[in-house]
Amino acid sequence: MEETERYKRGWEIIERVDGQAGDRVMENVGSISPDMARFIVEFAYGDVWSRPGLDLKHRELVTTSALITLGHCEPEMKVHMNGMLRVGWTREELIEVIIHLSVYIGFPSALDALRVAGEVFAEADAG
């Protein structure tokens, strides 16, 4: 069944990109709205992230840039900053992205992102 393939394909990418943090987010979402959780797996990951036109590393760079620019979604920002580190970006590169974005979104939003990155690093170190 087509449905199942989209779901399976999506879930495989969540595991690779977001790891346990992704599991936890999806569990929380699913406990309030199983349909919303299914749409994220099937559409966001199964349909879009799985497309061949851009690799996972660049998709995570685009995702994190968007979340830093949006500014008000810290839990998702954290998941995808962690995702950046998981798919091969270094901590230095993540900070470089934040410095670069300060030109385009202003320093306050960039400083908020820097603080979130600091928390991501501290949690990883406390591991």
Positions touching its own copies (CB under 8 A) are 1-3, 25, 28-29, 31-33, 35-36, 39-40, 43-44, 47-49, 51, 53-54, 58-59, 61-63, 65-73, 75-76, 92-93, 95-112, 114-115, 117-118, 121
Find where tokens 């974005």 sit. Answer: 101
Question: Whole-angstrom Cα distance, residue 101 to residue 5?
Answer: 37
Q: Which two tokens stand for residue 102?
A: 């300060």
For residues 19 and 102, which CB has a smaller minimum distance to its own copies in the complex? Answer: 102
54: DSSP letter: S
For residues 86 and 98, which CB has a smaller minimum distance to its own copies in the complex? Answer: 98
For residues 12 and 47, which CB has a smaller minimum distance to its own copies in the complex? Answer: 47
Question: Whole-angstrom Cα distance, residue 112 to residue 68?
Answer: 8
In the bound complex, what is the minimum distance in angstroms from residue 123's beta carbon to its own copies? 14
In the bound complex, what is the minimum distance in angstroms from residue 46's beta carbon to its own copies? 11
Question: Whole-angstrom Cα distance, residue 52 to residue 3?
Answer: 19
